[in-house]
């Protein structure tokens, strides 16, 4: 069975990002160290279900070192459709407000925005005091700023123009998103011909999950990827867990990894117990799987192909099973996040106040990157959504009925190719021994966090007008003149 929705049904009946109004208060001492951070968010929810609200204030819990930290989410019930978790729920909208507030405070302190953030860099999660499982945010700041050319940014606004007289502004924002992991199962088989089969009921929504999961499975079986058949997308297969929350690769990938190792262990036990095998007696020392062969650990002169081991054992396939889930205790011991830094350049017409994002650089640390090309695409997509959030997207509600009035692409604006220029993504190396067995964090949602605030801050730097609402409109800049 397949459900196909009309375009207008995509805007209300299947949820939307709930609107928020956020208030931030920041206190600093004479050394520009934050003494207090207060983030209160009022979120609109529906009047009949209220199962989800946009948790924007949570964005302030994990990022900056403040002596006193307070966040609060308040609900306002309206007769609107049920809101739901949109990409980077809470952090996308919360970081937009937080990062603009940080820039306003940096201006008051007379500091460069990056310098101010480094002064208030948190070595432990501010909301809990837990150590981070890993945090390469300093490296993200350094690499992103260097690639963007941030060092030449003038401190005051309205100082830069291009050859056509357009106002130029540079802004930045810090990116943060949690690294969840859910429960999943998988099955791995080594066939008599030495090839592999792996199965898990994971979903691929277009982000390339099946490619990355097949890579993980092939690696765990010690086989080239073209020698492994990957089956997924069917409810009759082992449960692949939730495809969402930036945790899908870690979740389904963890189960596939465990299943592959289980199959290799079973194959190694057969070889170790077989007097005819070159691997006889390797039970305690163990074996290493590579390119369709098992090698004795510490003595790679002793090896045998998978197919040969199976043939002497009766020719039956070897099956392994695996599951993956995070131990709740791990989450209690460490704060687990992906981090990043986004730098944006905007150009603004000084007479018409039309705005264009002309360049963006995002540097992200997200643990072990399985497929760099896919990760880059995901991060770039998030940054484009940041452009859309900052300058384009806005649902307009009919106050009489609560229905969305612009439920089509004629009235609901999103970026086209002409709106997206000069996007660059940097993935920063990061090893995380705690987040999961593979060291994988998510990249699906962190790209949008930080990007919205970076664009808002760049518009202020270009025009000297601070706009505290999104999307930013021409009339907002006109009102500030």
Cα within 13 Å of Cα(239), Cβ side:
8
d(C-alpha 205, C-alpha 233), whole Å: 10
d(C-alpha 220, C-alpha 107), whole Å: 51
d(C-alpha 198, C-alpha 186), whole Å: 7
Q: Is residue 445 among the annotated active site residues?
A: yes
Please calculate the CA angle 457-469-120 and round it to the nearest 5 degrees. 45
Q: Is 6 left (phi over 0), alpha (psi -120 to 50) or beta?
A: beta
Virtual CA dihedral for 216, 218, 221, 223, nearest 10 degrees?
-150
| Given 91, 99, 125, 445, the catalytic residue | 445
Q: Which of 290, 328, 330, 325 lies closest to 432 in space, CA to CA?
A: 330
Q: Which of 196, 335, 165, 171 lies closest to 263 in space, CA to CA?
A: 196
> How crowded is residue 7: how many other Cβ atoms within 10 Å of its Cβ?
10
d(C-alpha 326, C-alpha 181), whole Å: 6
What is 163-224 written as a DSSP string? Answer: TTS-EEEEEEEEEEEE-----EEEEEEE-TTS-EEEE------SS-HHHHHHHHHHHHHT--
Residue corresponding to tokens 């929705």: 5
Cβ neighbors of 479 (< 8 A, separation 6 or more) are: none
Burial class (CB in 10 A: 0-12, 13-18, 19+), 338: buried
Cα within 13 Å of Cα(289), Cβ side:
28
Query: Would you please indicate which residues are annotated as catalytic (active-site) residues?
Result: 445
């Amino acid at each position: 069975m397949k459900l196909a929705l009309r375009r207008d049904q995509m805007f209300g009946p299947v949820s939307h990002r709930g609107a928020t109004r956020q208030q931030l208060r920041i206190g600093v001492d004479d050394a520009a160290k934050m003494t207090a951070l207060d983030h209160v968010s009022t979120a609109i929810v529906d009047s009949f279900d209220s199962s989800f609200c946009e948790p924007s204030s949570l964005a302030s819990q994990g990022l900056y070192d403040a002596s006193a930290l307070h966040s609060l989410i308040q609900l306002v019930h309206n007769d609107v459709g049920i809101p739901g978790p949109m990409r980077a729920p809470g952090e996308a909208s919360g970081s937009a407000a937080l990062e603009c507030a940080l820039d306003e405070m940096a201006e008051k302190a007379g500091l460069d925005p990056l310098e101010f953030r480094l002064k208030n860099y948190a070595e432990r999660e501010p909301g809990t005091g837990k150590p981070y499982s890993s945090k390469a945010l300093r490296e993200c700041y350094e690499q992103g700023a260097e690639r963007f050319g941030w060092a030449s940014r003038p401190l005051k606004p309205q100082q830069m123009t291009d050859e056509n007289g357009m106002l130029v502004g540079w802004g930045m924002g810090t990116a943060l998103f949690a690294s969840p992991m859910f429960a999943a199962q998988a099955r791995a088989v080594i066939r008599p011909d030495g090839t592999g089969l792996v199965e898990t009921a994971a979903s691929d929504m277009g982000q390339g999950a099946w490619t990355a999961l097949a890579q993980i499975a092939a690696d765990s079986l010690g086989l080239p990827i073209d020698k492994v058949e990957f089956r997924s997308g069917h409810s009759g297969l082992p449960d692949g867990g939730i495809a969402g929350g930036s945790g899908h690769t870690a979740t389904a990938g963890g189960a596939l990894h465990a299943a592959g190792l289980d199959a290799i262990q079973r194959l190694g036990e057969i070889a170790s117990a077989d007097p005819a095998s070159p691997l006889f007696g390797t039970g305690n020392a163990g074996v290493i799987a590579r390119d369709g062969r098992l090698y004795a650990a510490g003595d790679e002169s002793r090896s045998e192909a998978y197919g040969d081991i199976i043939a002497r054992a009766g020719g039956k396939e070897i099956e392994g099973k695996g599951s993956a889930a995070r131990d709740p205790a791990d989450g209690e011991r460490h704060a687990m996040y992906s981090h990043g830094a986004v730098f944006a350049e905007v150009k603004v017409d000084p007479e018409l106040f039309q705005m264009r994002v002309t360049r963006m650089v995002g540097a992200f640390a997200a643990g072990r990157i399985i497929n760099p090309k896919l990760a880059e695409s995901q991060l770039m997509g998030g940054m484009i959504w940041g452009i859309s959030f900052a300058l384009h997207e806005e649902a307009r509600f009919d106050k009489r009925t609560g229905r969305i009035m612009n439920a089509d692409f004629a009235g609901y604006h999103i970026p086209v190719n002409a709106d997206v220029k000069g996007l660059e993504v940097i993935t920063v190396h990061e090893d995380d021994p705690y987040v999961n067995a593979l060291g994988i964090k998510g990249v699906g949602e962190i790209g949008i966090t930080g990007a919205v605030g970076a664009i808002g801050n760049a518009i202020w730097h270009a025009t000297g007008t601070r706009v505290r609402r999104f999307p930013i409109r021409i009339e907002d800049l006109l009102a500030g003149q």
